Structure 1
Amino acid sequence: MTSQPPLLGRLAIAYYCATFGLFTAIYAIGPGAVPSTDASWPKSLWKWGMWKAMATYFPQCKLHKTADLPPNKSYIFGQHPHGVLAYGTWLGFGTSALGFDVLFPGIDARVTTLNINFRAPFLREYLLLLGVCSVSKQAILNILGSGKSVCITVGGGSESLLAAPGKYDLILNRRKGFVRCALQTGASLVPCISFGEPETYNTINQLRHSHPIRRYQRFLERTLGFTIPLAFGRGVFLPYGLLPYPVPLNIVVGAPIEVEKYKGKEEEEKEEEGGPASIGRVSNGSSSVRGDGRGRSNDAVFEALVDKYHRQYVTALLELFDQHKEKYAKHASDMRLLE
């Protein structure tokens, strides 16, 4: 048995834990309850030299451009797959490590994340100084309406439960919110693929839906918005640990899919009458579309356009994968859309 620590030491530890816990709780319901929804913070840490050092961890880590993107437009970069920790999203778009600002000059792209990540003390300010913003619909509309662009890892945390070496299994069929945002703002959709992302970790994800661990993972996803995949990589000095495997990472940015901004019937009628097109619009310059509370709009024409552009996006994404699979993921299975 270990000896009893001094009373003064115990009191000091208790005081530290209590005050830090209280500070965290107050922060979570105070500043932490206000995530970045307008990209107003400067990207002070975006060009931090550590990011380039981080990129050297992977033997080949590169951002590949397949088409020019005019800087006078807004874009929604859809990144696939999520993998365990989305290194492709972070290095390719969340920092300047791979030269995004050189390949696409004039485009200010903001990586998006869950609101819960802004509730932790110091992590919030760290993310804000990197230009990271909330992935909420209103935040995306605000950012696109201001002329900036966003990068969304479309599959989210749910897709991390599908991650496995050699597999490009996506959650995309039921993810259409990003297309709705594109229609409301006129932003172009840009499919992107992070080749090598599934190989960064070994995972234990082939669990039955009835397995207790899987049920717990789904519970976390439903209640907190994120989940925890069972994964392992290598260590700093040991062959096993939480660091990713040093595998090649090639992030391919596809050609833009032009999306015409949806105006809605009321706005079109107002424009035909020669009056200001204010009806059906909100302050950020995006068209306002009434929803049914489940993400879908009550406007049948709008939803038909959502389905149309979503199909175009899926087709372009699959073609992009087929074009580059032989070069960057020769032994991987075909890309599959499971949900």
Structure 2
Amino acid sequence: MVSFSSLSVQLERHLQTLAVILWILSFLVLSQVCTVIFVSLFFTRFWLLSVLYSAWWYLDRDTPRKGGRQSKTTKQWRIWKYMADYFPISLIKTAELDPTRNYIAGFHPHGVLAIGAFTNFCTEGTNFSSVFPGIRSHLMMLTFWLQLPFFRDYIMKGGLVSSDKECVSHLMSKEEGGNLLVITVGGAKETLDAHPGDYTLLLKNRKGFVKLALIHGASLLPIFSFGENEIFDQLNNSQGSWLRSIQDRLQKIMGFPLPIFHGQGIFQDRFGLLPYRHPITTVVGKPIEVEQNTNPTQEEVDRLHQRYMTELCSLFEAHKTKYNVPPEQHLKFR
């Protein structure tokens, strides 16, 4: 006989899987679907809808660069709880954040789909507002995605904003504080290094976010997401391999990489596009206080960047054994 508790657990797992499927589909195909609908409406009797949206789109074109338009209701959808519980994803703080200050956070590593960054900072799946009361989180995304019809309005609801300097300036200049701008510093290019057990970060020459912190006097916040690289497998594409060479060339042409990855299936655990059920623990480090300097020299930027890397390494070393990272593993920068 199957107990009610057993049925409840099975239903919960099915709902978790469904939540992740819907998110994967929205990540991979929703933008294309929205664009097709927008264009197709022009050739139907509902053409006026696309015309009216075009007018709205034009009038609202600067919103992604001015802090977006996030919705508390959207961030609290139940689906995000199911998605966070699928892995599960956890958000850990090591220090309090002052809601009167603004913060620029570096998120590491990007992973294949940046699931940890999205779930923690664009939803209430891990109770962000309870963990960091008084702080409003924003996650930077390639500007291209925030220019697509309908799709832009949907993703802005979660706090996604444009990766423009104008957006940084807008958020970090708010005197009331309380803004946390999260940047996946390695960017989409770092997805090519997202292999289980690999802790290579694209950071050595990524100094723009540090310079912006100096210009605006925003505190720097290192974040490391343990387990982010463990939820998918990729084909071997080590530096110098033929596959990596092709991927690097395609990125230069298209502006984003094409990682060849797989996880598990819906009804079996061996192959599919669903991520593995592996825990992701996102640890937010201690803020690095930054004194405002509207015209920093390269030496000042380099010095703060080095301090940031040191703090990030310390954060990783202090927590790695708690999350099943072998003691001999260390961060590598390129």
- Shorter-chain TM range is 0.7 to 0.9
Q: Which residue of 2 aligns with 1:7?
A: none
Deviation readout 1:120-178 (Å, 9 max, x if unpaired) = 33221111111210112221121111232200111111111011101111000010010
Q: Which residue of 2 aligns with 1:284?
A: none
Change in CA separation of 1:17 and 1:56 when aligned onto 2, cut-off 3 Å: closer
Which whole-Å CA distance do the structure 1 matches of 2:134 and 2:324 have between them?
31
Which whole-Å CA distance do the structure 1 matches of 2:186 and 2:327 have between them?
19
Equivalent residue letter for 1:52: K
Whether 2:315 is the aligned partner of 1:320: answer: yes
Whether 2:324 is the aligned partner of 1:329: answer: yes
- Which residue of 153, 175, 199 corresponds with 2:184? 153
Which whole-Å CA distance do the structure 1 matches of 2:251 and 2:41 have between them?
24
Q: Which residue of 2 aligns with 1:273?
A: none
Give the superposition deviation at 1:224.
3.5
Where does the alignment leave 5 or more consecutive residues of structure 2 unmatched?
1-35, 44-49
Q: Which residue of 2 aligns with 1:20?
A: 40
Change in CA separation of 1:22 and 1:109 when aligned onto 2, cut-off 3 Å: same
Equivalent residue letter for 2:197: G
Is the Cα–Cα contact under 8 Å of residues 63 and 69 in structure 2 kept in the other structure?
Answer: no
Q: Which residue of 2 aligns with 1:283?
A: none
Which whole-Å CA distance do the structure 2 matches of 1:61 and 1:328 have between them?
12
Equivalent residue letter for 1:201: F
Which whole-Å CA distance do the structure 1 matches of 2:328 and 2:229 have between them?
11
Equivalent residue letter for 1:306: V
Which whole-Å CA distance do the structure 2 matches of 1:55 and 1:17 have between them?
30
Is the Cα–Cα contact under 8 Å of residues 81 and 170 in structure 1 kept in the other structure?
Answer: yes
- Which residue of 282, 298, 304 corresponds with 2:299? 304
Is the Cα–Cα contact under 8 Å of residues 114 and 225 in structure 1 kept in the other structure?
Answer: no
Is the Cα–Cα contact under 8 Å of residues 194 and 251 in structure 1 kept in the other structure?
Answer: yes
- Which residue of 156, 166, 179 corresponds with 1:128? 156
Change in CA separation of 1:245 and 1:306 when aligned onto 2, cut-off 3 Å: same
Give the superposition deviation at 1:209.
3.6
Change in CA separation of 1:19 and 1:121 when aligned onto 2, cut-off 3 Å: closer
Which whole-Å CA distance do the structure 2 matches of 1:332 and 1:195 have between them?
14
Change in CA separation of 1:253 and 1:18 when aligned onto 2, cut-off 3 Å: closer
Q: Which residue of 1 aligns with 2:16?
A: none
- Which residue of 63, 71, 78 corresponds with 1:49? 78
Secondary structure at the aligned position of 2:282 is classed as: strand
How many correspondences in the alignment? 283
Q: Which residue of 2 aligns with 1:200?
A: 231
Larger mean CA deviation between 84-93 and 221-230 belongs to: 221-230
Q: Which residue of 2 aligns with 1:218?
A: 248
Which whole-Å CA distance do the structure 1 matches of 2:330 and 2:170 have between them?
32
Secondary structure at the aligned position of 2:81 is classed as: helix
Whether 2:287 is the aligned partner of 1:252: answer: no
Secondary structure at the aligned position of 1:97 is classed as: coil
Which whole-Å CA distance do the structure 1 matches of 2:68 and 2:308 have between them?
29
Change in CA separation of 1:313 and 1:237 when aligned onto 2, cut-off 3 Å: same
Which whole-Å CA distance do the structure 2 matches of 1:90 and 1:215 have between them?
29
Is the Cα–Cα contact under 8 Å of residues 207 and 214 in structure 1 kept in the other structure?
Answer: yes
Secondary structure at the aligned position of 2:325 is classed as: coil
Whether 2:206 is the aligned partner of 1:175: answer: yes
Is the Cα–Cα contact under 8 Å of residues 231 and 276 in structure 2 kept in the other structure?
Answer: yes
Give the superposition deviation at 1:235.
1.5
Is the Cα–Cα contact under 8 Å of residues 233 and 243 in structure 1 kept in the other structure?
Answer: yes
Which whole-Å CA distance do the structure 2 matches of 1:332 and 1:107 have between them?
34
Equivalent residue letter for 2:212: C
Secondary structure at the aligned position of 1:260 is classed as: coil
Secondary structure at the aligned position of 1:36 is classed as: helix
Give the superposition deviation at 1:82.
0.7
Which whole-Å CA distance do the structure 1 matches of 2:120 and 2:314 have between them?
21
Q: Which residue of 2 aligns with 1:238?
A: 268
Q: Which residue of 2 aligns with 1:86?
A: 114
Is the Cα–Cα contact under 8 Å of residues 167 and 335 in structure 1 kept in the other structure?
Answer: no
Give the superposition deviation at 1:76.
0.9
TM-score, structure 2 as length reference: 0.78
Deviation readout 1:201-243 (Å, 9 max, x if unpaired) = 01114245462x4334223422433212111001211331111
Equivalent residue letter for 2:283: V
Q: Which residue of 1 aligns with 2:136?
A: 108
Secondary structure at the aligned position of 2:135 is classed as: coil
Q: CA RMSD in A?
A: 2.5
Which whole-Å CA distance do the structure 1 matches of 2:321 and 2:239 have between them?
32
Secondary structure at the aligned position of 2:189 is classed as: helix
Give the superposition deviation at 1:40.
4.4
Which whole-Å CA distance do the structure 2 matches of 1:97 and 1:66 have between them?
19
